[in-house]
Structure 1
Amino acid sequence: MLDYILGVIAEHRWVLAGVILTTFVAWVFVQRHRLFWVTDLAYTVPVVGRIARFSSDYAKAHDGWLNVEKTLCRDYAKHVPALSRGEFENHAEYLRKTYDHGRKPLPFAIVALLAVLIGLEALGFSYLLGSLMALEGSENTRTLLMLAVVTVLAIVLLWLTHAAGHQLYRTNLLRKLFREHQVDNSREFTSRTVKLNEPQSIDDDQPDHVQAANRIAAGPGDRGSYSMVWIALAFILVVAIGSTVLRIETLNSIEQEAAAPAASIFGATEGEAAAPAVAATPEPGAEARHNAALTGFTLLGAIFLVTQFIGMRVGYSYGFVGLQSAEAHRATEGAADYASYWARIQAMIDIANLRLQKLHQKLEAGAHRPLEFHKSFVDFLREERGRSGDHLLDPADPGTGGPGGRGRPTLVPNATEAVDRAVEALDKAPTSAAKLETLEGLDAHMQDLVEERLRARAAAGRREQLRTRFAGLY
């Protein structure tokens, strides 16, 4: 049974390897990026998409939403961060002070390319190694062992070179900061650890090298380390030299077998001396082929070394050294300024609103009586983030922190509570003149929000009157 399984694996090894690699790449890609389009595709696929499946569910939640509305909004809201302009600037300042501003996480395409290059290079070496490790094994066993060695070697080299390159960059930066500290020896190397959620101006009274160390160093004594660099170099040299020696020795054994004296095919008869062995005649060009093979092995070793140093260079050029720089970059979407940051969020909000409207249309088409929907995706964000105490998304003009004009959501803290207080003040105003005076005391943005709240309240009152009026008629 085992031989049959190994035979099937060996026969379809490349198809199986391709399926496993494609599945792994897709899983890592989706997990790494949490892609918005994956969520959008799950809702828009005809027949089996979530909008199609949700179009017959009219169950209501306790806060005026349908359950399917809240589910859709919650799924899309996962991709919409909630940074105000001040928070964005605070995150950007953190990245600037750690020298991570402008750096990027390791692109997935480069990871895939390096994995393919290292895997292909390891393929030949692992084939020889697998053959030597299973001299008495079948071809299927050798193939399976070869694939196992290729996988392990590729993963180890990919991780090791990237870690070494990243450590090299971090340690070089920390040593540079420490040299600046030695020149300015009147201060400590670090004054405190500054976290991302703290005001980044908290240590502006310190020199730049102290501010950087406050966000990069794990402690006052952290000067970095080159240990991973030395481990990576040692491992790379061992693999390069070992694979070259293995190829040369394999070539020598093949040539020795070819040059071994050939015994007579006729056995000696009784009373006759055994026939002497016939020396093999050297093939023409054998020495040239030997030298060409050695040159090829040298080139393969050089290509292997260059590829590993490219992997280290990639680790040096990508990634973040600040203790929370990766989190800051992820929250700001890698945007250079708030306007470009907001443009991406606005596009996602527009798409989410379109999907919610599409769901409303399908719900209305299947309903037995007219339905009215008054809430949008922005309303959901406002309610949810107001309930959690974070910043809210509200329609606003440019003066409230967003780059957009009227109708473009921007981030405003605790807007719901302010609107509640303004509406309450209007209700308590005894005369129309007093109400007008109250409204004039609000800024333009708050006036818009109060107007929206009053219109929604009036619409709810009319619906309640109609419900009471026609309660006994349907």
Structure 2
Amino acid sequence: MDFLATLFNEYRVLISVLLTTLSLIVMVTIWWDKVSFWWLNVYYSLPLIGKENRLSKDYETPVKVYNKSWLNSEVSLCADFASHYEKVNKDEELFAKSQDYLGKVTENGRNNLHAIGWILIASLVFVEAMGFSYVLSGFTIPGASESMQKQGALGIAFIISVLLVGLTHFTGHELHGNSLIKKAKVWWKNAKNRDRNTPELAPNNRINLDKTFEDDDEPQYKQLINRISTNAEVKPRYLVTIITAVAIIVIAVLATYVRGQVLEKEHIETVMIDTSSSMYQEQDPYAEPVPAILLQDKQETDAKGDEDAWDREKKGGWGTFIFLAFLFVLLQIFGILIGFKTGFSGKHSSDARKEIDPFKSEREFKAHYSRLKQQVARIAQKRLTNLQQKMNQRAETNCQDPKVLHVLEACGDRSFLTYMEELGAAETKFDQSTRRREHQTQIDNKALATSAQPVPAATHAPSEPIATELETATVPETVAKQVVDSKTVAETPAEAEARIREELLAEIAKSKAEKTVETEEQMRERLRKELMQEMS
């Protein structure tokens, strides 16, 4: 602490500037959308160097925007403000999608860890790390001064706290993700016990926040798996958990061991100092010599007292160190629990929570963003109107082209909201076209999978069993010969039908073996002719 106070006193101005700069950077980062929109409005409104004044000079460049005539300057202005309008162009459908996504991934009651929580956890871990980092600095920086050891202790504590805070938080996230995987597997096994035709436990990677309603018809376990990251076997993973557990145990054990060694080192140094001082203690030359038996008793009493005192001190010290190690481990478990209870494992759960977090209802969500949209549209329309007026003034003075003047006179039909409506209509049309193509692709894939039939391999011999479309039974060659020999025997109509069927099966098997591939219609026509001949 003395080092920090000295550093702050010597570099007070520099530290103040750095802290102020960092604070401004953090504030601008947090409220970047508002700051960038404010700066865009200021940049357009500057009198001489503003973008509005520069764009007003280009009033003769027409462009086509979704089959409607615009001026290039107008399109540039609308495009600049359109990005800010899109950020607040959110309706109740997005709120419903976000709620649906969080509900299907069973994370609708979770939140990210607040900044105050991060500061609290980091402070607790840093204070705990300082407890043994000062002891470690004596061995990591041997021979260093007291001031240098304090600086080294700060550095060691910072490194340990950063590593432990990150590891414990990621461990909590990993355990939460594993709990979701286990939940989905339990649901899947229960569904499989009820129905053997249960779909496989594999994720659909096409599901995102915009397509969250596409798997409404799928089982609940499939909806959950579609929204989290899993391995190929859809099993829990414990890599980060194992690393964190090893790190916590190693740090706790080694820190306790080093503390114990430092305690014993200090005791040895104390004994050596006491021994040296007693050896060189001045004797009174006029004092009578103490009897040897009394001197021996005194030495034994002092030795026993010192030993008892050291025994108590050692037990108390090791008890304190063990308690501090237990407190350290308990603090890391607390960090893991915080990571388990906060944060998200869903791929887009964090984005969904950001959309609906400040709002309690869909109506509140809609009212908030409707107000923001009106604010952006009002400012954008004001800038567009000023631009159109400036272009009209310049054109009346410098332009004689009637087409240009006609386009400028019709500026009332070109507003910012009109531009956004045409842009939205084009995006909607593109999305519908994309969805139709994807839907048609899925239909084609299903049709191909349904109509696909197994084709015999080239190495199959004619004597191998071959499956037919009429029956799954196979017809060996010996059975076919017996059927041929039975033609000369008098038959009943039922026996004749069975014989004909067996002959047809034998012929079909033979044709399959000879690699003759027929379509269903061709086979149907051929069988019809053969049956007609046999019946006649």
Please report the TM-score for the alignment, with normalisation by the length of structure 2: 0.55
- Residue 314 of structure 1 pairs with residue 338 of structure 2: yes
Q: Tell me the secondary structure at the aligned position of residue 184 of structure 1.
A: helix
- Give the residue type in structure 1 aligned to 2:326: A
Among 234, 246, 250, which residue is 1:234 paired with? 246
Among 257, 273, 276, which residue is 1:262 paired with? 276
| 1:104-131 CA-partner distances (Å, limit 9, x unpaired) | 2232221222122212222232222222
Partner of 1:153: 160
Computed over aligned residues only, the root mean square deviation of the Cα atoms, in angstroms, reads 4.9
- Tell whether the 8 Å contact from 1:94 to 1:325 is kept in structure 2 after alignment: yes
- Tell whether the 8 Å contact from 1:73 to 1:380 is kept in structure 2 after alignment: no
Deviation at 1:241?
A: 2.3
Q: What are the within-5 Å matches in structure 2 for residues 382-397 of structure 1?
A: 382=421, 385=424, 389=427
Deviation at 1:221?
A: 1.7
> Residues of 2 paired with 1:20 and 1:248: CA distance?
41
- Tell whether the 8 Å contact from 1:192 to 1:214 is kept in structure 2 after alignment: yes
Larger relative helix fraction: 2
Equivalent pairs counted in the alignment come to: 372
Among 208, 211, 225, which residue is 1:213 paired with? 225
- Residue 97 of structure 1 pairs with residue 116 of structure 2: no
Aligned CA distance change for structure 1 residues 174 and 258 (closer, same or farther; 3 Å): same
Aligned CA distance change for structure 1 residues 200 and 66 (closer, same or farther; 3 Å): closer
> Residues of 1 paired with 2:417 and 2:76: CA distance?
16
> Residues of 1 paired with 2:417 and 2:86: CA distance?
13
Deviation at 1:170?
A: 1.1
- Residue 126 of structure 1 pairs with residue 133 of structure 2: yes
Among 33, 37, 54, which residue is 1:59 paired with? 54
- Residue 73 of structure 1 pairs with residue 81 of structure 2: yes
Q: What are the within-5 Å matches in structure 2 for residues 142-291 of structure 1?
A: 142-185=149-192, 186=196, 187-190=198-201, 192-193=203-204, 194-196=206-208, 199-218=211-230, 221-260=233-272, 261-263=275-277, 264-265=279-280, 282=306
Deviation at 1:95?
A: 1.8
Range 355-364 or range 224-233, more displaced: 355-364
Partner of 1:12: 7
Deviation at 1:67?
A: 9.7
- Give the residue type in structure 2 aligned to 1:321: S
- Tell whether the 8 Å contact from 1:164 to 1:315 is kept in structure 2 after alignment: yes
Q: What are the within-5 Å matches in structure 2 for residues 19-34 of structure 1?
A: 31=29, 33=30
Aligned CA distance change for structure 1 residues 358 and 155 (closer, same or farther; 3 Å): farther
- Tell whether the 8 Å contact from 2:90 to 2:369 is kept in structure 1 after alignment: no
- Larger-Rg structure: 2
- Tell whether the 8 Å contact from 2:113 to 2:343 is kept in structure 1 after alignment: yes
Deviation at 1:163?
A: 0.7
- Tell whether the 8 Å contact from 1:105 to 1:318 is kept in structure 2 after alignment: yes
- Tell whether the 8 Å contact from 2:377 to 2:416 is kept in structure 1 after alignment: yes
| 1:330-355 CA-partner distances (Å, limit 9, x unpaired) | 45556454323223323433554676
Partner of 2:326: 302
Aligned CA distance change for structure 1 residues 168 and 28 (closer, same or farther; 3 Å): farther
- Give the residue type in structure 1 aligned to 2:262: T
Range 188-197 or range 89-98, more displaced: 188-197
Aligned CA distance change for structure 1 residues 354 and 24 (closer, same or farther; 3 Å): same
Partner of 2:373: 349
- Tell whether the 8 Å contact from 1:196 to 1:328 is kept in structure 2 after alignment: no
Q: What are the within-5 Å matches in structure 2 for residues 360-399 of structure 1?
A: 381-382=420-421, 385=424, 389=427
> Residues of 1 paired with 2:336 and 2:24: CA distance?
25
- Tell whether the 8 Å contact from 2:91 to 2:366 is kept in structure 1 after alignment: no
Q: Which runs of no fewer than 5 residues in structure 1 stay unpaired?
A: 1-6, 268-277, 392-412, 414-474
- Tell whether the 8 Å contact from 1:129 to 1:146 is kept in structure 2 after alignment: yes
> Residues of 2 paired with 1:214 and 1:153: CA distance?
37
- Tell whether the 8 Å contact from 2:78 to 2:380 is kept in structure 1 after alignment: no
> Residues of 2 paired with 1:169 and 1:190: CA distance?
19
> Residues of 1 paired with 2:118 and 2:75: CA distance?
41
- Tell whether the 8 Å contact from 1:104 to 1:318 is kept in structure 2 after alignment: yes
